[in-house]
Amino acid sequence: MIEAAAERLKGWARRTPMLSSPFLDDLAGRRVMVKAECLQHTGSFKFRGAWNAISAFDPPGVIAFSSGNHAQGVALAARLKGIPATIIMPSDAPRTKIANTRGLGAEVVLYDRASEDRDAIGARLAAEPRLTLIKPFDMAEVIAGQGTCGLEIAEQAAEEGVETADVLVCCGGGGLTSGIALALEARAPGLRPRPVEPEGFDDVARSLAAGGIRANDRLIGSICDAILTPRPGDLTFPILRRLCGPGLAVSEDQALRAMALAHDRLKIVLEPGGAVALAAALFLPGPGEVVIAVATGGNVDREVMARALALPGEG
Amino acid sequence: MIEAAAERLKGWARRTPMLSSPFLDDLAGRRVMVKAECLQHTGSFKFRGAWNAISAFDPPGVIAFSSGNHAQGVALAARLKGIPATIIMPSDAPRTKIANTRGLGAEVVLYDRASEDRDAIGARLAAEPRLTLIKPFDMAEVIAGQGTCGLEIAEQAAEEGVETADVLVCCGGGGLTSGIALALEARAPGLRPRPVEPEGFDDVARSLAAGGIRANDRLIGSICDAILTPRPGDLTFPILRRLCGPGLAVSEDQALRAMALAHDRLKIVLEPGGAVALAAALFLPGPGEVVIAVATGGNVDREVMARALALPGEG
């Protein structure tokens, strides 16, 4: 399915670059390779899964719920396919994400993340016969689309002569992490995926440690909006459990520092939730001489970037 | 020479991506393609020319003068070759550029841009027999190295089906612009290079208009430090005159707005002098349905980026 997704994405998604900086290597004490998915269309990897799922289903219209990156991926994919998209977004999503989703032509429906159940809203709207629900992660076609990022990581690591490394992935519901895990299992078994989450929202790490699905206590109160999900998915968790190393968690301060260093050293723009893997690569100890971090998204409000850039000094 | 340079750069320089955003297309009223050379090693295209020249000369040591981007390109190339580098930099260069050049292992010599003649200092130091001068632009091997960027632009435009467009290039001494011009002449004659400079420092535009070399009145007083040069080069100007369309100039405010839009829409970090071509693509009228802008560098101090991000609204 991932290979089929790669065929569908050819000429539509970007093959994002693998970046690096000797300064980051020095800081981390090991070689740091950064897969810059923030440079994907709509500023995050989400376009991959959205394009693959919509291409596979070929529906007359789509609906999705998302804090903003899946929203934009679905909106652009639908626009390119010439079909309507309805997107259900939390009212506290970053305003640029809401504006961009509307700017890409989607109809946006807002809901209160603390008091309303987005799955119920989604199920109700998806009951409309002309709208096909494109789930943010727990859907095979979406996982396969995100997995194309893993195929590229396997190729790019091989080009650099890297056979053994942890591959750190910013993880919400686990769609990208499980897709990458499946791709690496087939193409680069020496590369070990590991989910990275914000401290206090590490449902995946706790689920992996417990051997069964654990939920987050809360879904608000982090700047890492892109990766705040209630719990790992029913499809994604068994994949994560079979293929991933232990989960990692970083603080908000570490995520902001990673954003500033990505600005200084890689010349890329990351959002907090898209920077947690780089933060883990830079600030947490890890095995081996090389670590690969997936920089999953860059849809950040200017004020949040300015906050990161106002932090003192290096690292 | 450009093809030979491309061979030397293979596996050492990055093939930087061509980026785009439907939001920028809407803003400009035409399709905008952005060659993201800020993602090149050391954060600017300069590594290309430095690596090619050092590879061609194979010297025991090198010397260079630069406001910061050529400095870093030469410093990294020398480090990778295992030879010493001495870099002469203006004392008012952005502090990150000075720190990065030192961080890459080069010896940095500072001079006063307003009162001292960097060419004389360079000539004196280059008299040392063990140091080969790597000029920032007026050197055939450097022009050929920068020209590899033009080969990539020709390929990437063809991949997108673009045969006719202006190619806007941030222009200081004209090394990159002339290299790109030569590559496009051979590979994509429908793509027309045009230099872009800051208002008040448009020596290349005025030289092109006059049909002979004209100098800038002053060399300080612009945030576009990367592209403030006294006058076009003796090697570069005849190439620019033969192959380029008329020069363009943008204001500092336009450069800062382009930086903010590159942050928002492309997820790349640009410095002011690396953003003038994108600014011209977005804010100045131009012919045709497509325009290509070369985003030449991203080595910006955090304060300057914060200033760009504090600008109001879109565009």
Please report the number of interchain residue pairs, chain A to chain B, with beta-carbon separation below 8 angstroms.
72
Residues A29 and A57 in one domain: no
Q: Answer yes or no: is A315 within a domain.
A: no
3-state secondary structure of B86: strand
Cα–Cα dist B67/A249, whole Å: 40
What gap in Å lies between CA A148 and CA A47, rounded to an integer? 11
- For A313, nearest residue in chain B (alpha carbons): B302
- Domain with B55, as residue range(s), is 46-133
Are A291 and A162 found together in one domain? yes
Show residues of chain B in contact with A305, CB under 8 Å. 263, 305, 309
Task: Please indicate if any CB of chain A lies within 8 Å of the CB of B305.
Answer: yes
Domain assignment present for residue B315? The answer is no
What angle, rounded to 10 degrees, do the helices at B46-57 and B175-187 form?
A: 90
Same domain, A283 and A201: yes
CA nearest to B26 within chain A: A103
Same domain, B123 and B154: no
Domain boundary among A107, A133, A159: A133
Listing from the earlier edge strand, what are the strands of the sheet with B31-36?
B18-19, B31-36, B290-295, B165-170, B191-198, B248-250
pLDDT tens per residue across span A93-128: 888 899 999 999 999 999 987 788 877 887 777 777
Outline where DSSP puts E strands in chain A.
Answer: 18-19, 31-36, 62-65, 85-90, 107-111, 132-133, 165-170, 191-198, 248-250, 290-295
Decide if B314 is inside a domain. Answer: no
- Within a domain: residue A161? yes
Q: Could you give the percent of chain A with pLDDT greater than 70? A: 99
Q: Work out the average pLDDT over A280-302.
A: 97
Instruction: Look at the alpha carbons of B233, B238, B239, B243 in this order and tell me if their dihedral is positive or negative.
Output: positive
Q: Pairing mode, if any, of strands A18-19 and A31-36?
A: antiparallel
Q: Is A83 on the interface with B (CB under 8 A)?
A: no
Domain count, chain A: 2
Q: What integer pLDDT is reported at residue B118 of this predicted model?
A: 73
Q: Which residues contact A29 (CB under 8 A, 6 or more apart)?
A: none
- The answer to whether A179 touches A149, Cβ cutoff 8 Å, is yes
Contact B251, B275 (CB under 8 A): no
Residues B145 and B124 in one domain: no
Taking the Cβ of residue B34 and every Cβ of chain A, the question of whether any pair is shorter than 8 Å is answered with: no
pTM of the model: 0.96
B269 CB neighbours in chain A (<8 A) are 263, 267-269
pLDDT of A287 over the 50 cut:
yes
Rounded to whole angstroms, what are the CA distances from B78 to B44, B81, B146?
16, 5, 17
Same domain, A264 and A154: yes
Q: Distance from B39 to chain A by nearest Cα, in Å?
A: 6
The number of beta carbons lying within 10 Å of the beta carbon of residue A209 is 12
CB contact under 8 A, A17 and B22: no
pLDDT at B314: 63
A196 pLDDT exceeds 70?
yes
Residue of B nearest to A39 (CA): B267
State the pLDDT confidence band at A314, using cuts at 50, 70 and 90: low
How large is the ipTM? Answer: 0.95
Residue B171 belongs to domain with CATH number: 3.40.50.1100
B100 touches chain A (CB under 8 A): yes
What is residue B315's predicted lDDT score, i.e. its pLDDT?
Answer: 43
pLDDT digits (tens, 9 = 90+) for A209-230: 999 999 999 888 899 989 999 9
Q: Do A14 and B16 touch (CB under 8 A)?
A: no
- The answer to whether residues A293 and A199 belong to one domain is yes
CB < 8 Å from B in window 266-285 of A: 266-270
- The 10s digit of each residue's pLDDT in A150-190 is 999 999 999 999 999 999 999 999 999 999 999 999 999 99
Inspect the interface and report whether the beta carbons of B17 and A14 lie closer than 8 Å: yes
Asked if B22 and A302 come within 8 Å (Cβ–Cβ), the reply is: no
Do the chains contact at A267 and B298, CB–CB below 8 Å?
yes
**Is B14 an 8 Å CB contact of chain A?**
yes
A122 in any annotated domain: yes
For Cα atoms A66, A68, A69, give the angle at the middle one, nearest 5 degrees.
100
Helix axes A252-261, A302-309, angle to 10 degrees: 90
Q: Count CA atoms closer than 13 A to A114's CA, side-chain side.
A: 3
- Tell me if A30 is assigned to some domain: yes
Interchain CB distance below 8 Å, A16 and B16: no
A314: in domain = no
Q: Of B261, B267, B268, which to mutate for an interface test with A (greatest number of A Cβ within 10 Å)?
A: B267
Q: Is B17 near chain A, with CB under 8 Å?
A: yes
| Tens digit of each residue's pLDDT (9 = 90 or more) over B57-83 | 999 999 998 878 999 999 999 999 999
Shortest distance, CA B179 to any CA of chain A (angstroms): 24
Of A39, A43, A306, the CB nearest to B310: A306
The closest CB to that of B306, out of A96, A267, A309, belongs to A309
Whether A94 and A145 map to the same domain: the answer is no
In a domain, A29, yes or no: yes
pLDDT of residue A306: 97
Verify that A89 and A148 share a domain, yes or no. Answer: no
Residues B283 and B198 occupy one common structural domain = yes
The residue out of A112, A133, A154 marking a domain boundary is: A133
- What pLDDT shows up at residue A95? 87
State mean pLDDT over A282-287. Answer: 96
* Interface touch A103/B298, C-beta < 8 Å: no
Q: Report the residue from B17, B267, B270 with minimal CB separation from A43.
A: B267
- Examine the domain organization and report whether A152 and A284 are in the same domain: yes
Task: Name the domain boundary from A133, A158, A185.
Answer: A133
Token output for A288 = 């081996």
Which parts of chain B sit beneath pLDDT 50? 315
Same domain, B205 and B268: yes
Percent of the residues in chain A that have a pLDDT greater than 90, as a whole number: 86
